[in-house]
Structure 1
Amino acid sequence: MRITDTSDLWWKNAVLYCLDVETFMDWDGDGRGDFGGLAHRLDYLSDLGVTCLWLMPFFPTPDRDDGYDIMDFYGIDKRLGHIGDLVEVIRSAKDRGMRVIADLVVNHTSDRHPWFQAARSSPDSPYRDFYVWSDEIPKDAPETVFPGEEKGVWSFDEKAGQYYLHRFYKHQPDLNTANPKVREEIAKVLGYWLQLGLSGFRVDAVPFFLETTEGMLPEGPDAGHSYLRDLRSFVGRRQGDAILLGEVNLKFKDQLAYFGGPDGDELSMQFDFESMQRFYLSLVREDARPLARTLARRPKLALQSQWANFVRNHDELTLDKLTEVERREVFDALGPEPRMQVYDRGIVRRLPTMLDGDPRRIRMAYSLLFSLPGTPVLFYGEEIGMGENLDAGGRQAVRTPMQWTDAKNGGFSTARPSALPNPVVADGFGPDHINVNQQRHDPDSLLSFIQLLIRRYRASAEIGWGDLSILEQPHASVLAHRVTGPLGSMIALHNFSPNALTVPLTVDGVDAETRLVDLLQEGETRTDDRGRAELDLEGYGYRWLRILDPGTRRLS
């Protein structure tokens, strides 16, 4: 993929904010969030520093999988508003310097989608091959994504008289992406939403999406990636700076293929699941080395490719890349109760509750998020420290209504509580204690701190564009990393232990009296003639330091 203007690579230093319209703000008082509510909260998101909104599915749905079971790829669920409301949100967001992307869920549909209803009606239906059918369950059937909730990935349809494939729930039959007609329909979906103003898509479950293609096309094992390149090319032709942000929970070496390798012609961005999982292991052990080792082997990407960094997302906190012993260690520390765990691989809690509300550890975590090379992604409510409601069950525990005020329903809705899509958090992390209105007027709040991190991140171009190196120092509990790019260089220190420390560092390639200027607080440190400096860190402390020549003016 040839890049002619790097200014089009807006995602390299963006700040993404994921939200579910249904749980963000209810404007018409029916108990469900809607596009009218989102429109009235765009100024809040702009003030926070968000540059790109990621909207979870808003399409017509039976809502058996929180909107990921789609009945119409071209519509808006009437409970959320209509297409004009979405267009108004996109326009208003762009007026405030924010782009909008949306979930692209094309690995399956709802079983109530007209395509599937037509497909099951007759073997001669033109939609029959839109899905994957078999007369019997194959012997080499893969495992289900949801162990404990689904027995397998093949279910028998009485009307069709055959088994159909579903890697997710049985009410979500897989699309046959090997079928050229299915590809044509997917291209129409992409083109439609790009024409309405979206700046790209978060592509759901990419390996499963391509697995069907690779298993059914004669081109061989590269068939899926060939199709992914075609999708990226199509998006680029329709809108040159549109992105594909992929959910690819694989090891680094496998993720490279989904970027398109050195050509960078497949996914624009991918979530860094490996580093996220080792972060939690380091957090539990108060030992930065598991994360440091993982970051050190992070592959270098093509110019137009990017890592998406996150602390928490809308699904379970998956720990599938850890060993069984490591996973149990994290479970015991952060989610010890059975109701806090799901699928034998994840935790259904938010960060503040896992850390017992300790503001030092919470702030250290987000400082690290924004200092790592890549693009930070926030899940709604993270900026104020929202908790979860375990009574909601499973993944729904973290998908509770946004907490705007300490009023009824947290200011999310004026409806009766039973009308809400999920119950509001009711414990010490509920709206009585945690809400936007309270924190907006408190300069020492988590919200104010996240705003500061976003400002410093956006002013530090090297974080989005630079290269990462792990710095040697003697403390196992400290992660010291450097990010170096054409526009600058900075060092970040993060202490995973409660003990105050002095960290000796040697900064390569600097002159005597080079200045290390703090970016998150007042102060600076000078190196000696060998580039050495000693830096103090509080327990669970963090520091960002800009590397400046002696004569450079002080940063504001």
Structure 2
Amino acid sequence: MKLTVSKGGFFMAKNTWWKKSVVYQVYPRSYQDSNGDGIGDLPGLTSRLSYIKDLGADVIWLNPIYKSPDRDNGYDISDYRSIQPAYGTMDDFEELLQKAHVLGLKIMMDLVVNHTSDQNKWFQESKKSKDNPYRDFYVWRDPVDGHEPNNWGSYFNGSTWKFDKTTGQYYLHLFAEGQPDLNWENPKVRDEVWKIMRYWLDKGVDSFRMDVINLISKPAGLPDGQKAPGEKYANVGKVVADGPRLNEFLQEMNQKVLSKYDVMTVGEMPDSTPKDAIKYTGLDSHELNMVFQFDHVGLAGNPDKRLGKWNDKPVKLVELKQSLSKWEKELNGKGWNSLYWNNHDQPRAVSRFATDNPKYRVKAAKMLGTTLHMMQGTPYVYEGEELGMTNVHYTKLSQYEDLESLNAYREFVEDEKIIDKTSMLKYLAAKSRDNARTPMQWDDNKNAGFTNGKPWFELNSNYQEINARDQIEDKNSVFSYYKKLIELRHNSDLIIYGDYELLDLEDSQIFAYKRHYNNQSLLVISNFTDKKLTRDYGQKKGNLLISNYPDDLDMEIRPYESKVYLFR
């Protein structure tokens, strides 16, 4: 059943290409190795561009490819104008960019400017002396009573402050010790960031994903935060996110750089609310196009607040519906949303939000794709999601590589002894970022077709059952289904622009909602359980548009079934 493409309406008047786009995220280190060193690289990605084009994506988001000591897998940048040698050369990047553009694919770079690497020349100069010209590029403070300047806790566990003996002061790092925060209050820092942005845009880059961009404006005086009972440090996100000058800095960025280019921008904004997001992405705000919010991926935290996200509890569907629907409703007509289930910082979607039980995995992966891609916003597909790749289910600490995971294990198990080893390993298996970073599963040959050498990171052992080669030609595969979802979105103003209406919030088994636009409506029904259920949403009166089952049993909704109906 074809959806009509209508004209007019609020969003059509404001139409821009990124609202109709689908983004495919590539974690370069794990995508495709071309030279046998076991590390994914730019020539490897270039060789796979046709695969991404076949899927139907419009934009490729590259996680950081800049020169880096790799303490946080590239999010600690030592040189913003150089390519990480393991990934190739600038010539390799320019070839990737050129060939992507020939295929009609745009390139999104990861802009990491809340912090740099401690190996960056700015920081190397900054720490030499208090009167160095680069000293004020970073946030330095004297000790307070012989201790850290405040009680902020790092996103990667422990304090946000690191003492430097050379000058007797602490520097601020909201993340790892090797990631000192830039001082955005210094106009010279901002000017340097604008130069970096222009450098890449002038090369032809089409988009920026801005890493933790809502943390760049720190509160005046850097005051202590409110500590939760039993916690050693205050949650820094609650103190720093959406600081007093953030709008000013983003407007300056737009005025000085972004407004000069036809560029797509998305700001990663932990701890932001829809009201915050509207300030940054509002149609008349002159700042960013959209935000990455964290509400739905932050659900199911541990009841023991000291452990934060670390647990293995399933997400409650009612809470998931409430979270996603809040952003759909509150941004409608005012801002723009990013739609995603997983990325390089999150566990695999099918394992986290549905099931990776082989009996239902394919149906569950398709169900999640349907639920998300029928919403309003720009969808993001993380590499391997289109295959239904799963969590890796490691059982030993030695198998993990992620800094956040290793720090958490050390703090909670070894230092503070607030959890036992077995439980923490279960939590890592459920929530570690490493679940998303195992190499891409291209075929069932040795190393899954990722490399001819020794992979930098252990592969998921299920690559013989889950791989791209098997799925590309299989019309019933997860890959083929994602192609259909993306094609539907490309051809439907209703899916892109339609208003959102949640149905039956308190239903703990079914996620159902409607979309409305120019006298057309969609009804989306998704079963998040392995049970046969019966629901009547009036679906008999609609025309089935897409489903992850080969037939339609009307009011009966089978395990992990998802179906979409069109009403005229």
1:440 aligns with 472
Shift of 1:522: 7.7
Question: Does residue 270 of the first structure (1) align with residue 308 of the second (2)?
Answer: no
1:305 aligns with 335
- Equivalent of 2:154, from 119, 144, 157? 144
Identity %: 31
1:424 aligns with 459
Question: Does residue 543 of the first structure (1) align with residue 563 of the second (2)?
Answer: yes
Distance 1:141 1:546 in 2: 54
Distance 2:18 2:58 in 1: 9
2:492 aligns with 460
Question: Does residue 45 of the first structure (1) align with residue 52 of the second (2)?
Answer: yes
Residue identity in the other structure for 2:249: Y
Which aligned pairs between 1:290-439 and structure 2 lie closer than 5 A?
290-298=319-327, 299-301=329-331, 305-317=335-347, 351=352, 355-357=356-358, 358-359=360-361, 360-389=363-392, 390=394, 391-393=399-401, 394=405, 395-415=433-453, 417=454, 420-426=455-461, 429=462, 431-439=463-471
Listed one character per residue, the Cα deviations across residues 415-437 of structure 1 (whole Å, up to 9, x for unaligned) are 1x2xx3212222xx2x2222111
Local SS of the residue matching 2:64 = coil
> Aligned pair in 2 of structure 1 residues 311, 4: CA closer, same or farther (>3 Å)?
closer
- Equivalent of 2:88, from 81, 103, 119? 81
> Aligned pair in 2 of structure 1 residues 366, 125: CA closer, same or farther (>3 Å)?
same
Unaligned runs of 5+ in 2: 1-9, 224-241, 303-311, 406-432
Distance 1:308 1:190 in 2: 22
2:510 aligns with 478
Question: Does residue 226 of the first structure (1) align with residue 248 of the second (2)?
Answer: yes
Distance 1:95 1:14 in 2: 17
Shift of 1:54: 0.4
Local SS of the residue matching 1:378 = strand
2:543 aligns with 516
- Equivalent of 2:318, from 285, 289, 299? 289
Distance 2:505 2:117 in 1: 53
> Aligned pair in 2 of structure 1 residues 388, 221: CA closer, same or farther (>3 Å)?
closer
1:451 aligns with 483
Moved more, 360-369 or 124-133: 360-369
2:138 aligns with 131
Distance 1:472 1:97 in 2: 41
Distance 1:387 1:353 in 2: 11
Shift of 1:106: 0.5
> Aligned pair in 2 of structure 1 residues 232, 487: CA closer, same or farther (>3 Å)?
farther
Listed one character per residue, the Cα deviations across residues 171-197 of structure 1 (whole Å, up to 9, x for unaligned) are 111100110000000000111111111
Shift of 1:199: 1.3
Greater relative contact order (Cα 8 A, min sep 6): structure 1 or 2?
2
Contact 2:350 2:389 in 1 (8 A): no
- Equivalent of 1:65, from 63, 72, 91? 72
Contact 2:58 2:105 in 1 (8 A): yes
Residue identity in the other structure for 1:43: S
Listed one character per residue, the Cα deviations across residues 136-160 of structure 1 (whole Å, up to 9, x for unaligned) are 155533211112xxx3111111223
Distance 2:300 2:520 in 1: 26
2:527 aligns with 495
**Normalising by structure 2, what TM-score?**
0.78
Distance 2:515 2:84 in 1: 43
> Aligned pair in 2 of structure 1 residues 500, 302: CA closer, same or farther (>3 Å)?
closer
> Aligned pair in 2 of structure 1 residues 276, 464: CA closer, same or farther (>3 Å)?
farther
2:196 aligns with 189
Instruction: Kindly tell me the number of residue pairs found equivalent between the two proteins.
Output: 490
Listed one character per residue, the Cα deviations across residues 500-536 of structure 1 (whole Å, up to 9, x for unaligned) are 33322359xxxxx9643433478899xxxxxxxx643
Residue identity in the other structure for 1:226: E
Shift of 1:212: 6.3
Distance 1:23 1:443 in 2: 26
**Normalising by structure 1, what TM-score?**
0.80
Shift of 1:385: 2.2
Shift of 1:353: 9.4
1:336 aligns with none
Question: Does residue 12 of the first structure (1) align with residue 19 of the second (2)?
Answer: yes
Distance 1:33 1:6 in 2: 42
Residue identity in the other structure for 1:408: K
Contact 2:267 2:290 in 1 (8 A): yes
